[in-house]
Structure 1
Amino acid sequence: MRLVLGRFTHNALALLAVTTILFFMFRLMPGTPLAAFINENLNADQQQAMLEQFGLDKPMWQQYFIYLANLLQGEMGLSFFQRRPVMTILLEVLPNSVILTLTSLIIAYIFGVVAGAWLAWKRGTWIERAAVPAVLATRAAPEFWIGMVLLAVLSFNAGWFPSGGASSPGMAYSSNWDRIFSLDYVHHLALPVLTLALYLQGLPLLLMRSNMLEVMHEEFVTMARMKGLSEWRIVIGHAARNALLPVVTAFALGVGLSMGGNVVIETVFSWPGIGRLLVQAVSVHDYPLAQGAFLMIALVLALMNFVADLLYMVLDPRVSHGRKG
């Protein structure tokens, strides 16, 4: 319990540091958030009233403590540009980012675990020599480049998938959940998911392959061979189970990291998620919305980092007893 509380405290302090940096970073940026609203027809009194409306007339240190107090109450302020609560705007696009991230990660990790175990089994063959450079190439290639190639081939040339957005023009749905569970939504989701899955599959595949190569020389694998078990049963039933520990914890961390890295994918495919919303908010100096989007991503990352720590302690008790050892 002491170790769990320590991990939780570290993540909470990290979130506080991120919140502080974001608050002052946006306010020290050049430009003013009211440039989109203030024009020649507004006199000095009207401009001052607008500053008071958004709370920008107070000293910066006072704005900071007001912002922290509002955060503790689940309030992220009012969007300068959309004139709506930031939390409402974020909750509207959060399902799109979560669906894109989780779908891509599940596909990438299922493929990576199976393919990594298979490549370890095929150690030293031409299959491994051809597959490993291909995996490294997809991992090293920028996300936007993979997305642009898939757009050019599968969307613009073949016409199999839409080029962007989350629904076709003219489509109307009774609720956001009806839109999410529609075939049109899945059709628009396919290409961003494929792009992100191609980029993400390299880590679990190489990690699984490396772990498998180490586990295959353990004594329990030798004992399984002496019992006369088939090679595939040894690989899947014995070696793979013991090689999954780092992959499971990497999956939890991957959720948080992918939420932050989806900015590029969502921008390339015009996907209405938190990443694209963040880019739009920064471009119009919408401080509360940009801070809220950044903070939401940091919160998910910290939460999944905490979950990864818990998973590692549960799956490997040596971690929780490390100090005693």
Structure 2
Amino acid sequence: MRLLKYITKRILVMLLTLFVLVTILFFLFRVVPGDPVSMFIDSGLDRESQELLLKHYGLDKPIGQQYIIYIKNLLKGDFGNSFQYGKSALEVIAERFCNTMILMVTSLIIAFFIGITAGAALAWKRNTKFDMIGTIIALIVRCAPIFWTGMILLSIFAFKLKILPLGGMNTPGMRFDNLLEKYLNFDFLKHLILPAVTAALYSAATPLLVMRTSMLEVIKEDYIELARAKGLKEKRIMRKHAMRTALLPVVTIFAVQAGFAIGGSVLIETVFRWPGMGREIVLAVSFRDYPLAQTAFLLIGVMTALFNLIADILYAYLDPRVALD
């Protein structure tokens, strides 16, 4: 019951956060310098035609009225029409958003699996060469620019060894009847490996170092010594007793890492020519395409908020005392 109350409270906080985000996005794109009208309305059109286009996109109304209309439409699931494409902004961004999320979720799963496992192992073997070398490698990978790491992996596995594709999401010319067929095939998995591993290597250092630090604190606790005194095997003590407690700080940073991963997808998508949201966001901001830019950033915000909610629920599950607050 307490856990359910806690989850309900977190959902309400998430909805309030999203409302604030929607409001900020709406006004932010309208106060930046630049005139969106000149981007999509031909200057050769007569004044009457230009006014009709402005009316069609709702840009002839006061900004306060535009905001109210936008919120009402948003509640109906209407994200507005893109100025560039002349169709629903959600329709334009949906497939690209799906591509970005598949890439980023895959990379986060790999990153946290590597980070948690390696971090725990380094802490358990503290002050050894294994610990020192592992920590140095993690710091080097973290400090290296993500596009540089991507190009290194491309040069090795795509150019020299030629075992993985150079980029893209599918081999050119391939046709698919539905989304499941598009994503659930060996060709797609081959294209996914390099960008997902690149993003994972960059992101893994943070959970690794946090897990290592947390484990170093946990293994000093009395109950770890008690477990050893009972004659339990070291692997069992590490997995069943130490790692669960040490996971709490790692769960906390999961949501933050997810936000950075989604928001930082532009570089990865550029290096590997991955057809995600990165390119569309850049174009939308450049052309002052309000509906498209707002939809893209809102979807990123929604996913980040959901990751935060998942992190809060996991935290409450791992440490039931959290739900009592």
SS state at 1:244 partner: helix
1:271 aligns with 2:311: no
Bigger mean CA offset, 189-198 vs 82-91? 82-91
* Pairwise CA distance, 1:151: 2.9
Checking the alignment, whether the CA contact within 8 Å between 1:113 and 1:204 is kept in structure 2 is yes
Counterpart AA for 2:166: S
Checking the alignment, whether the CA contact within 8 Å between 1:253 and 1:308 is kept in structure 2 is no
Other-structure match for 1:90: 93
**1:229-282 CA distance string (max 9 Å, x none):** 332332223222332233234335533442222232223322122233212222
2:294 to 274, 291, 294: 291
Change (3 A) 1:6 1:236: closer
1:262 aligns with 2:265: yes
Other-structure match for 2:216: 213
Other-structure match for 2:157: 154
Counterpart AA for 2:27: F
Checking the alignment, whether the CA contact within 8 Å between 1:256 and 1:305 is kept in structure 2 is no
Other-structure match for 1:318: 321
Other-structure match for 2:148: 145
Distance of 2:151 and 2:57 partners within structure 1: 40
Distance of 1:172 and 1:152 partners within structure 2: 28
SS state at 2:52 partner: helix
Q: Tell me how many residue pairs correspond in the alignment.
A: 322
Other-structure match for 1:42: 45
Is there any run of 5+ residues in structure 2 with no aligned partner, and where? none
* Pairwise CA distance, 1:158: 3.9
Is there any run of 5+ residues in structure 1 with no aligned partner, and where? none
Identity of aligned residues (%): 47
Counterpart AA for 1:80: F
2:189 to 186, 189, 196: 186
Instruction: Give the aligned CA root-mean-square deviation in angstroms.
Output: 2.1
Bigger mean CA offset, 241-250 vs 277-286? 241-250
Bigger mean CA offset, 70-79 vs 301-310? 301-310
Distance of 1:37 and 1:239 partners within structure 2: 59
2:105 to 102, 106, 116: 102
1:130 aligns with 2:133: yes
* Pairwise CA distance, 1:289: 0.5
SS state at 1:172 partner: coil
1:237 aligns with 2:237: no
Distance of 2:179 and 2:7 partners within structure 1: 37
1:21 aligns with 2:45: no
Bigger mean CA offset, 37-46 vs 72-81? 37-46
Other-structure match for 1:201: 204
Distance of 1:233 and 1:227 partners within structure 2: 12
The two structures have a TM-score, normalised by structure 1, of 0.90
SS state at 1:201 partner: helix
The two structures have a TM-score, normalised by structure 2, of 0.90
Counterpart AA for 2:146: E
Counterpart AA for 2:189: V
Distance of 2:135 and 2:292 partners within structure 1: 42
Distance of 2:82 and 2:266 partners within structure 1: 20
Bigger mean CA offset, 170-179 vs 33-42? 33-42
1:170 to 170, 173, 181: 173
Counterpart AA for 2:311: A
1:79 aligns with 2:82: yes
Distance of 1:35 and 1:183 partners within structure 2: 45
